[in-house]
Structure 1
């Protein structure tokens, strides 16, 4: 298993709602799923300018995670996430 951390600073709630409708199937296509998501985060150490919606994603393989983010068939789904606000996804592998 490999993990990815996604953080979205939401600016467009409608785009985020549309993304959420499609995100599970898009992740599953490449062996991924959401392990945990929360609208509120608590920084334990250090500082960031802003936190947003945080999610831990789980993938079966690094290749699956990279396939998910680079899948041209999912470009409309990724566009919804990007349209929701500032998104950062970090692969932890």
Structure 2
């Protein structure tokens, strides 16, 4: 099992809602799932920039995570997520 952290600053909540409606099924295509998500993250230590949305994603392995992000059938969905505002996905491993 490998994890990824999704962070987003939302500038278009409608686009993010549309993305969320389809994101679970897209993750599942590659064995992934959302373990936890929140619009209410807070700094525990230090002074990081706290995004509007944070999620922990899990995948069976790094190859599955890379297959999900590079899946040509999901390109429009990833573009929709990116249109909702700046986002980052960090693979932990």
The normalised TM-score by structure 2 is 0.96
How many equivalent residue pairs? 93
Is this contact kept in 1: 2:42–2:50, CA < 8 A? no
Larger fraction in strand: 1
- SS at structure 1 position matched to 2:81: helix
Deviation >2 Å, runs of 4+: none
- Shift of residue 47, structure 1, vs aligned partner: 1.8
The corresponding residue for 2:7 is 7
The normalised TM-score by structure 1 is 0.96
Unpaired runs of at least 5, structure 2 = none
The corresponding residue for 1:23 is 23
Deviation sequence 1:10-64 (CA, Å, 0-9, x none)? 0001100110111001100011000000001111112223422000000011100
Partners of 1:48 and 1:67 in 2: how far apart? 30
Question: What's the RMSD between the two structures over aligned residues?
Answer: 0.8
